[in-house]
């Protein structure tokens, strides 16, 4: 199960089937917010289209080895940092593919986001939902 500093964040539903994490309190720049973990798997990317959308949304990319992706898949129900959403203007960064840190001071009530393009090794090929600039993640 991923670790999340629950003193800093809380999970909120943002639609019927989607959640996000928000600052429960002020989070100082460079604070560790949490880290990802799960079951390590080596996935053949030539067969990735056989996997459901859940796999792509919840996988944490660790290393690309030719056409194989070493990744974490959750072993328990996603929680905390597992709900870190994408933004072209993020307020967190993911280091070493695992650790989530605040890139600036974050105000209470602010959604925590990361730029998926900086740590996902295999693009999803989906249009970004940020207002601008429109990108592909």
| Average pLDDT of every residue of the chain | 88
Q: Do residues 72 and 60 make contact, with C-beta atoms less than 8 angstroms apart?
A: yes
Give how far the C-alpha of residue 88 lies from the chain's centroid of Cα atoms, to the nearest Å.
Answer: 13
User: How confident is the model at residue 32, as a pLDDT?
Assistant: 98
Question: For the chain, what is the radius of gyration of the CA atoms?
Answer: 15
DSSP-based three-state secondary structure for 61:
strand
pLDDT at 104 over 90: yes
Per-residue pLDDT tens over the stretch 21-78: 999 999 999 999 999 988 898 988 888 777 766 666 778 889 999 999 999 888 888 8
Domains along the sequence of the chain with CATH:
3-118 (2.170.270.10)
pLDDT at 132 over 70: no
């Amino acid at each position: 199960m991923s670790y999340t500093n629950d003193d800093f964040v809380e999970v909120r539903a943002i639609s019927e089937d989607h959640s996000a994490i928000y600052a429960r309190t002020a989070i100082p720049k460079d604070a560790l917010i949490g880290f990802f973990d799960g079951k390590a798997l080596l996935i053949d990317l030539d067969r990735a289209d056989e996997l459901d959308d859940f796999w792509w949304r919840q996988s944490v990319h660790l290393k690309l080895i030719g056409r194989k992706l070493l990744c974490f898949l959750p072993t328990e129900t996603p929680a905390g940092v597992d709900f870190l959403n994408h933004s072209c203007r993020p307020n967190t960064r993911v280091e070493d593919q695992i650790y989530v840190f605040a890139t600036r001071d974050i105000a209470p009530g602010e959604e925590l986001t990361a730029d998926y393009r900086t740590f996902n090794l295999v693009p999803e090929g989906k249009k970004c939902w940020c207002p601008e600039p429109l990108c592909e993640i």
